[in-house]
Amino acid sequence: MKSAVIVFPGSNRERDMLYALEQIGGQKPLTVWHQETTLPDVDLIVLPGGFSYGDYLRTGAIAGLSPIMKAVKEQADKGVRVLGVCNGFQILTETGILPGALLRNAHLKFVCKEVELEVATNKSVFTSAYSENQVIRCPVAHHDGNYFADEDTLNRLEAEDRVAFRYSQATNPNGSIRNIAGIMNEQKNVLGMMPHPENLIEAAQGGTDGRGIFESALETIA
């Protein structure tokens, strides 16, 4: 499957994402500058981590207004797979592609460490490589990862099986409500998550727990 990574001013994880996609998918991904207005014909669009526009105003707020985001939304509406990691997740909520918001971490500190994630559902194109309720390791690095949504939205996410990942109770690094680490849209072709699976895909990184997301999305499950 073909993939593309969107690059914004202040992105700093696009190289990690490009590496992961090529290593697992077997094809070199394309890069798309945020000022472009069209996207190439790809199967997976990725919004990587970083600090787009220095996180001014709100994390992801300015990047969400970039010309390319109109094309991302159009492709998502057509069913193309979209993965937003960390700052990418923040941008997806700012554009309304995903519900809720990412607030300042509850302890008001930047957090950079490894956490445990529970696979809340494996019935999606992003999580099918895992077992339901499987616990995996994954790195996090953020200052504004505290997921919040109103009760009606949270209940709808739960009822529609759209919570993809939860932090284990003991490792929630930011105070996210209901320990939510990643959610999907109604069609389940868009996933936003704060942890960085691209940084745990091979032994040299200390493990391969993050590979399943890419194997699922790129349909390369052995």
> What are the CA-CA distances from residue 43 to residues 29, 39, 40, 47, 146 (Å)?
11, 11, 9, 14, 29
The values of phi and psi at residue 116, to 5°, are: -105, 135
Tell me which residue of 38, 35, 47 sits closest to 82, measured CA to CA: 47
Positions annotated as catalytic residues are 86, 196, 198
Distance CA 18, CA 3 (A): 9
Are 110 and 219 a contacting pair, CB within 8 Å? no
Other Cβ atoms less than 10 A from the Cβ of 188: the count is 19
Q: How far is CA 22 from the centre of its chain?
A: 17
Which tokens sit at 71? 């094309």
B/e letters for 73-84, b = 16+ CB within 10 Å, e = fewer, are bebbeeebbbbb
Residue type, 25: G
Distance CA 217, CA 127 (A): 8
